[in-house]
């Protein structure tokens, strides 16, 4: 349910979730709880008094909707019950446990004997009772929120007065934890905070608002002597305190801690304290806008006295840009209120988009003004209009309208001429600004408006100039105006010229008498330049304390909270901003993005991203709509809903055109390519990536272009087209050599090296990997350093250089930390390869078992698949068929057709098992042989499969498999080369001679006991017998029996 759909109903829920069944007395639940009577019913379920047969005590249960018993919802219910258990407080009901049987879902809590507060306040309440209950309720809420729990349904029905005349808070059925803020879909609207009614989103002080309404109802039942001044003062003071709790704006309410502190201050002298100065800014009385008195004005209109709410007012400018005076005035009015704590200007672009999209005429239509006001959260609209009186003169009119009541605060008209346009508009701007500020600012807080004439002159004279020129002229004409230096610093920072930005900031910081706002904004830019998170947090916190209702400040604070890795705080700040402007698509998007990052993808899709899309379309903001559709695609991609993801990315591209949003389009094209490749649409993926690369090339964005080129390389790598992948990875490296990013250059070198490795060109792989290794060492990139050592270890193993392989793996061991599970897993897997190749079966088995545990710990399905397949290969080599069957069963669920390497290995092992155990006819393996992806899997994997099947099927030397192996095999692939020599040596004496040389070079190779059978001399027989005995000693009796039966 979206916030815009919430009506003033008695219940916020649009759907009754509770089970409509009424359980009769005597009904037993979960074989333990016998119903005695119904105690009440709420929006979320019925409450019963039951007898616990196991513990022989009466307790209360709350029956929940049976549709919540699905695993995911049930887990959430258990989570909420566990949270409520943490609350151990005399004024909060104790929650015990949650139960679910075939027909019911419920949780148990202590049975409180007492009278509902709603019934109790129908009778007179004493001052002492009010004070007792108020303090107990405030303390209970404080404890709840200290534990991070929202109740969400505080009302007299959910408060009991027990036998000791103590107040007890009950019913946590819709309580929610602060780290899991959701839309509230139940609760009584009379007690619900405005932000809950408007958006359905709870805030930290929504419960406190409900407390205030409850306290107001209690105090209304308190009878004091109205004729006594002291009694009147007591009631006035407490009503004033309650008003702070029920402030319309969440940010203006106190925290539970502060509210309780204030309560203690009140209670210290309950009937004699005439006035309490509260430590908050919420009781400042709103001023009435004064009559606009302007000497230059031809006529003016003054409204009757109008109360304006005491808060930061959002002002929207609506200007007819047909004529120069109104355009200039609209631009000018943005300057004097930049640092105001009481005025925040709404985004003019958003207003203009909304007017254009919906065809609104706000100058003529009150309904259209309401549409703008409610959609964008605007409190005052300034309507700017001009009419030509002659070729050189204009009549400029300005009307200030208080929304949503459509009350005119003032209306003024003035004549300006082209000759003195800047001066005339500046005078008008001063008066408009002054009157607004006088109405809402504290005395003496109005800014210096003397610089407006110079600003107007700069704007007027450089209307067509670039931002750089406008800012330079502003700084030249007004060197004491801090806004000019801040704008300059921000522009230079966005352009990436940090040195120039620092110079601008130095000029800003030299203006020590300027408003704190400018200094703090400058400190945030400085923090971003110098990567000083502590400074950014410090400046942001101060800004938030000064400008708690400025959307831009809240947004900036949220961004810095993300930088500080505080997502919960960031989300809270985004929600505060949304409470001010509920139709800001960017804010909804940011909330959805954070939810996706935290894994709450479905929730983000149904909630924040949908709200963002609705807001963007309502505003006609196609740029925001494209951003959000792209986010929908990313979310569906993470959910593995690839068809939907591809559709959303395609929709986003319709809006992200190459002329206006080239960089955004490139991002979406890369996303589309990713999902298209997954869906098997490789031509579409390649086309998208090529277009993205061209766009980024035109923009001169070499970093992103290199990333796109790498993505093309990865796509071809996944398809097994290693030569094509190598071409793209080399292009990416060429682009990165033109930048100063050493880390990315090294990553590109590593990509190139890996492709050379897969293609069997080990000399080039060695060169590139060692270059990458040097770069990673120089910048101390530990993660990539370890991975490069592991790659070099793997290559050393393939070449038969076991010492070099061990050296690299040991180096990784010295760099590993406890939490680097993936790197530990890879090292254990590679140790298993190395030990098995040397005939150390027990050590290899221990290593692969450890690798499996680590892969399971990290929940890495791809790592698990690698472990299962390698373990299966070990089982095949020692003819342990039961072990092989187990590993195949474990691997099968993870295999997909697009995994060429893994599916080939799985098919090989599976067919080998069928041949040996099921006595499969060799002809039935032909379809697998016919579909072997020659040249599309790593060369060493292809050779391993070809040579094993050649031997296992006892094929002739001119078979298709052997002919293919003859083309690929080289001495450097020592294990495959020895196997190839062994198969050829029976008839080829040259092969026999070379095999003997290899045996001398690799005396510890695990299969030497087989290869030595080719030789008939006594020494070779002795060596073969020793090797066989050593190998057999590592096998179980059953394994040894099977092994000898198979090979000997």
Closest CA to 61 of 109, 101, 115: 109
pLDDT of residue 351: 87
Q: Kind and range of the H or E element at 346?
A: none
The answer to whether residue 11 scores a pLDDT higher than 80 is no
Whether 315 and 439 map to the same domain: the answer is yes
Tell me which residue of 718, 720, 716 sits closest to 732, measured CA to CA. 716
Q: Edge-to-edge strands of the sheet including 159-162?
A: 114-116, 159-162, 167-169
What pLDDT is stored for residue 66 in this prediction? 62
Asked whether residue 215 carries a pLDDT value surpassing 60, the answer given is: yes
Using the 3D structure, point to which of 48, 79, 109 is the last residue of a domain: 109
Over residues 774-830, the pLDDT tens digits come to: 999 998 889 899 999 999 999 999 999 999 999 999 999 999 988 888 899 999 999
The strand pair at 149-150 and 167-169 is best described as unpaired
pLDDT higher at 116 or 326: 116
Residue 620 lies in a domain: no
The 10s digit of each residue's pLDDT in 302-328 is 444 566 777 788 888 888 777 777 777
Residue among 1004, 898, 904 at smallest CA distance from 949: 904
Query: Residue 440: its pLDDT value, please?
Result: 61
Q: Residue 432 has what pLDDT? A: 75
Q: Given this model, what pLDDT does residue 1023 score?
A: 94
Q: What is the pLDDT of residue 363?
A: 80
Higher pLDDT, 221 or 421: 221
398-415 pLDDT per residue, tens: 888 888 888 777 777 778
Highest mean pLDDT among 205-214, 587-596, 882-891: 882-891
Res 382: pLDDT: 86
Mean pLDDT is lowest, of 330-339, 545-554, 862-871, for 330-339
Q: Is 312 exposed, middle or buried (0-12, 13-18, 19+ CB in 10 A)?
A: buried
One domain, residues 315 and 435:
yes
Q: Which residues pair with 433 in a beta bridge?
A: none
Which is more confidently placed, 878 or 114? Answer: 878
Residue 56 and residue 155 in one domain: no
Domain span including residue 996:
969-1048
Separation between Cα atoms, residue 847 and residue 845, nearest integer Å: 5
Return the H-helix or E-strand segment holding 61.
Answer: strand 57-64
User: Domain end: 721, 739, 757, which one?
Assistant: 739
- The set of long-range contacts for 613-619, using a CB threshold of 8 Å and a minimum separation of 24, is 613/585, 614/2, 615/582, 615/583, 615/584, 615/585, 615/588, 616/585, 618/354, 618/357, 618/375, 618/583, 619/350, 619/353, 619/354, 619/357, 619/375, 619/583, 619/585
Would you call 870 exposed, middle or buried from its count of C-beta atoms within 10 A (0-12, 13-18, 19+)?
Answer: buried
Considering the domain architecture, whether residues 449 and 315 belong to the same structural domain is answered as: yes
Please give the pLDDT value at position 176. 44
Q: State phi, psi for 17 to the nearest 5 degrees.
A: -85, -25
pLDDT tens digits, one per residue of 933-990: 999 999 999 999 999 999 999 999 999 999 999 999 999 999 999 999 999 998 899 9
How many domains does the chain contain in total? 6
pLDDT at 730: 94
Q: What global pTM score does this model have?
A: 0.54
Q: What is the pLDDT of residue 982?
A: 96
Looking at the chain, the whole-number percentage of residues with pLDDT higher than 70 is 86
Per-residue burial over 1009-1043, b if 16 or more Cβ lie within 10 Å, else e, is bbbbebbeeeebeebbeebbeebeebbeeebbebb
Q: What is the CATH number of the domain that holds 51?
A: 3.30.200.20
Residue 609 and residue 123: Cα distance in Å, rounded? 49
| More confidently predicted of 286 and 270 | 270
| pLDDT tens figures, 254-280 | 888 888 888 877 665 433 333 333 333
In-domain check, residue 139? yes
- Residue 41, beta-bridge partner list: 46
Same domain, 36 and 170: no
Least confident of 271-285, 338-352, 441-455: 271-285
Mean pLDDT, the chain, integer: 83
CB-side neighbour CA atoms (13 Å) of 1001:
15
On the question of a cis peptide bond just before residue 404, with omega within 30 degrees of 0, the verdict is yes
Question: CATH code at 191?
Answer: 1.10.510.10
Predicted local confidence at residue 231, as pLDDT: 78
Which of the four pLDDT bands, split at 50, 70 and 90, describes residue 282?
Answer: very low
Separation CA 611–CA 631 (nearest Å): 13
* 159 domain-assigned: yes
Q: Check residue 286 and give its pLDDT.
A: 25
Residue 14 lies in a domain: no
Q: pLDDT band for position 42 (50/70/90)?
A: low
More confident position, 484 or 444? 484
Report pLDDT for 460: 64
- Please report whether residue 23 resides in a domain: no
pLDDT band at 998 (very low <50, low <70, confident <90, very high): very high
**Distance from C-alpha of 870 to C-alpha of 876, rounded to nearest angstrom:** 10
For the cut 60, the answer to whether the pLDDT of residue 44 exceeds it is: no
Please answer whether residues 342 and 437 qualify as being in contact, where contact means their C-beta atoms are separated by less than 8 angstroms.
yes
Q: Which two tokens stand for residue 226?
A: 């109205």
pLDDT value at position 447? 57
Query: Does one domain contain both 125 and 253?
Result: yes
> What does the pLDDT look like over 624-669, one tens digit per residue?
999 999 999 999 888 888 889 999 999 999 999 999 899 999 999 9
C-alpha of 409 from chain center? 43
pLDDT at 464: 67
Q: Which is it for strands 313-319 and 380-388: parallel, antiparallel or unpaired? A: parallel
Q: Are residues 219 and 248 in the same domain?
A: yes
* Residue predicted with more confidence, 329 or 752: 752
Query: Residue 419 — φ and ψ, nearest 5°?
Result: -65, -40
Q: Give a yes or no: residue 548 inside a domain.
A: no
Asked if residue 443 has pLDDT above 60, the reply is: no
Does residue 961 form part of some domain? no
Q: Are residues 314 and 405 in the same domain?
A: yes
pLDDT at 290 over 70: no
Q: Is the pLDDT assigned to residue 18 strictly greater than 70?
A: no
Cα separation, 57 vs 64, in Å, equals 22
Q: What is the pLDDT of residues 672-707, one digit of tens each?
A: 988 888 777 888 888 998 899 999 989 888 888 888
For residue 160, what are the β-bridge partners? 116, 168
Pinpoint the alpha helices (H) of 86-126.
117-120
More confident site: 304 or 478? 478
CA atoms within 13 A on the CB side of 585: 22
Taking residues 31-57, report their average pLDDT.
79
Instruction: Answer yes or no: do 161 and 97 share one domain.
Output: no
Q: Is the pLDDT of residue 10 over 50?
A: no
Beta strands in 750-834 (DSSP E): none
832 within domain boundaries:
no
CB atoms within 10 A of CB 628: 30
CA pair distance 969, 832, nearest whole angstrom: 24
Predicted confidence at residue 312, as pLDDT, reads: 81
Domain match, 252 and 304 both: no
Q: In residues, how long is the chain?
A: 1048
211, 337: one domain = no
CATH of the domain at 704: 1.25.40.10
What are the tens digits of pLDDT across the range 159-180?
999 988 999 998 764 434 444 4
What's the pLDDT score for residue 292? 25
Question: Of 557, 604, 458, 631, whose CA–CA distance to 251 is shortest?
Answer: 557
Residue 4 — pLDDT band, cuts 50, 70, 90?
Answer: very low
Instruction: Reduce the DSSP state of residue 343 to 3 states and report it.
Output: strand
Domain termination site, one of 409, 430, 455: 455
- Regarding whether 38 and 141 lie in a shared domain, the answer is no
Helices (H), 70-125: 71-85, 117-120
């Amino acid at each position: 349910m979206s916030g815009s759909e919430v009506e003033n109903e008695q219940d916020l829920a649009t759907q009754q979730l509770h089970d409509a069944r009424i359980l009769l007395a005597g009904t037993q639940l979960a074989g333990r709880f016998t119903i005695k009577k119904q105690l009440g019913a709420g929006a979320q379920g019925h409450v019963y008094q039951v007898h616990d047969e196991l513990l022989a005590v009466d307790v209360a249960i709350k029956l929940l909707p049976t549709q919540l018993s699905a695993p995911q919802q049930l887990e959430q219910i258990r989570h909420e019950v566990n949270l409520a258990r943490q609350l151990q407080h005399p004024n909060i009901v104790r929650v015990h446990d949650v139960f679910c049987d075939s027909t019911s879902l419920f949780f148990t809590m202590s049975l409180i004997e007492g009278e509902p507060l709603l019934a109790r306040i129908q009778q007179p309440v004493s001052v002492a009772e009010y004070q007792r209950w108020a303090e107990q309720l405030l303390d209970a809420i404080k404890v709840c929120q200290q534990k991070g729990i929202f109740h969400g349904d505080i009302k007299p029905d959910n408060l009991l007065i027990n036998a000791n005349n103590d107040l007890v808070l009950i019913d946590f059925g819709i309580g929610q934890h602060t780290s899991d803020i959701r839309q509230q879909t139940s609760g009584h609207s009379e007690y619900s905070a405005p932000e809950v009614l408007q958006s359905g989103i709870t805030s930290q002080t929504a419960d406190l608002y409900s407390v205030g309404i409850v306290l107001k109802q209690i105090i209304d039942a308190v009878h004091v002597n109205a004729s006594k001044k002291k009694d009147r003062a007591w009631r006035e003071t407490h009503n004033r305190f309650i008003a702070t709790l029920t402030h319309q704006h969440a940010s203006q309410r106190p925290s539970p801690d502060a509210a309780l502190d204030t309560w203690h201050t009140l209670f210290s002298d309950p009937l004699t304290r005439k006035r309490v100065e509260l430590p908050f800014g919420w009781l400042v009385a709103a001023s009435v806008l004064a009559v606009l008195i302007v000497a230059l004005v031809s006529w003016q209109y003054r409204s009757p006295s109008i109360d304006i709410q005491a808060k930061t007012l959002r002002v929207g400018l609506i200007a007819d840009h047909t004529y120069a005076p109104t355009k200039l005035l609209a631009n000018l009015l943005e300057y004097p209120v930049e640092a105001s704590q009481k005025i925040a200007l709404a985004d003019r672009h958003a207003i203009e988009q909304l007017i254009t999209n919906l065809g609104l005429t706000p100058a003529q239509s009150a309904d259209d003004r309401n549409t703008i006001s409610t959609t964008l959260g605007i409190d005052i609209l300034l309507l700017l209009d001009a009419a030509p009186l002659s070729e050189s003169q204009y009549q400029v009119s300005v009307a200030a309208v208080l929304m949503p009541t459509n009350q005119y605060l003032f209306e003024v008209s003035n004549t300006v001429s082209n000759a003195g346009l800047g001066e005339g508009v500046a005078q008008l701007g001063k008066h408009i600004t002054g009157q607004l500020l006088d109405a809402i600012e504290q005395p003496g807080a109005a800014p210096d408006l003397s610089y407006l004439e110079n600003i107007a002159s700069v704007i007027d004279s450089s209307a067509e100039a670039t931002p750089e020129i406008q800012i330079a002229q502003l700084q030249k004409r007004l060197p004491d105006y801090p806004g000019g230096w801040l704008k300059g610093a921000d522009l230079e920072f966005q352009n990436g010229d940090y040195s120039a930005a620092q110079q601008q900031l130095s000029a800003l910081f030299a203006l020590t008498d300027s408003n704190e706002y400018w200094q703090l904004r400058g400190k945030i830019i400085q923090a971003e330049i110098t990567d000083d998170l502590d400074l950014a947090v410090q400046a942001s916190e101060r800004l938030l304390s000064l400008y708690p209702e400025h959307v831009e400040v809240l947004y900036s604070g949220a961004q810095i909270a993300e930088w500080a890795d505080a997502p919960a705080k960031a989300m809270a700040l985004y929600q505060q901003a949304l409470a001010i402007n509920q139709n800001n698509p960017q804010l909804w998007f940011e909330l959805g993005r954070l939810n996706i990052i935290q894994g709450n993808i479905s929730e983000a899709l149904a909630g924040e991203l949908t709200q963002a899309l609705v807001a963007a379309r309502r505003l006609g903001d196609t740029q925001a709509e494209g951003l959000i559709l792209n986010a929908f695609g990313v979310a569906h991609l993470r959910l593995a809903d690839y068809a939907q993801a591809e559709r959303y990315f395609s929709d986003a591209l319709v809006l992200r055109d190459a002329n206006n949003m080239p960089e955004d389009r490139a991002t979406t094209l890369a996303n589309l390519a990713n999902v298209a490749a997954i869906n098997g649409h490789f031509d579409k993926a390649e086309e998208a990536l090529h277009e993205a690369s061209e766009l980024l090339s035109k923009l001169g964005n070499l970093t992103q272009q290199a990333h796109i080129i790498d993505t093309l390389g990865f796509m071809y790598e996944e398809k097994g087209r290693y030569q094509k992948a190598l071409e793209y990875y080399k292009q990416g490296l060429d682009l990165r050599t033109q930048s100063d990013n050493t880390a990315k250059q090294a990553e590109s070198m590593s990509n190139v090296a890996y492709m050379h490795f897969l293609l069997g060109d080990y000399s080039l792989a060695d060169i590139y990997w060692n270059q990458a290794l040097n770069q990673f060492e120089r910048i101390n990139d530990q993660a990539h350093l370890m991975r490069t050592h592991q790659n070099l270890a793997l290559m050393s193993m393939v070449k038969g250089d076991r010492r070099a392989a061990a050296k690299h793996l040991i180096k990784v061991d010295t760099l590993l930390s406890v939490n680097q599970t993936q790197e530990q897993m890879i090292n254990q897997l590679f140790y298993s390869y190395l030990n098995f190749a040397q005939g150390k079966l027990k050590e290899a088995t221990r290593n692969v078992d450890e690798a499996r545990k680590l892969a399971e710990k990290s929940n890495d399905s791809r790592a698990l698949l690698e472990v299962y397949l390698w373990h299966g290969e070990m089982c095949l080599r020692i003819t342990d068929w039961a072990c092989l069957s187990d590993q195949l069963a474990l691997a099968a669920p993870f295999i997909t057709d697009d995994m060429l390497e893994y599916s080939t290995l799985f098919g090989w092992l599976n067919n080998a098992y069928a041949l040996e155990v099921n006595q499969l006819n060799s002809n039935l393996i032909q379809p697998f042989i016919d579909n072997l992806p020659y040249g599309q899997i790593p060369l060493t994997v292809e050779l391993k499969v070809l040579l094993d099947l050649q031997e296992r099927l006892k094929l002739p030397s001119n078979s298709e498999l052997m002919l293919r192996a003859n083309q690929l095999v080289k001495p450097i692939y020592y294990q495959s080369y020895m196997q190839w020599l062994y198969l050829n040596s029976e008839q080829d004496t040259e092969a026999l001679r070379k095999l003997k040389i290899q045996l001398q070079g690799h005396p510890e190779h695990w299969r030497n006991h087989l290869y030595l059978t080719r030789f008939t001399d006594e020494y070779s027989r002795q060596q073969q017998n020793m090797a066989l005995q050593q190998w057999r000693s590592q096998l179980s009796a059953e394994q040894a029996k099977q092994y000898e039966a198979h090979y000997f």
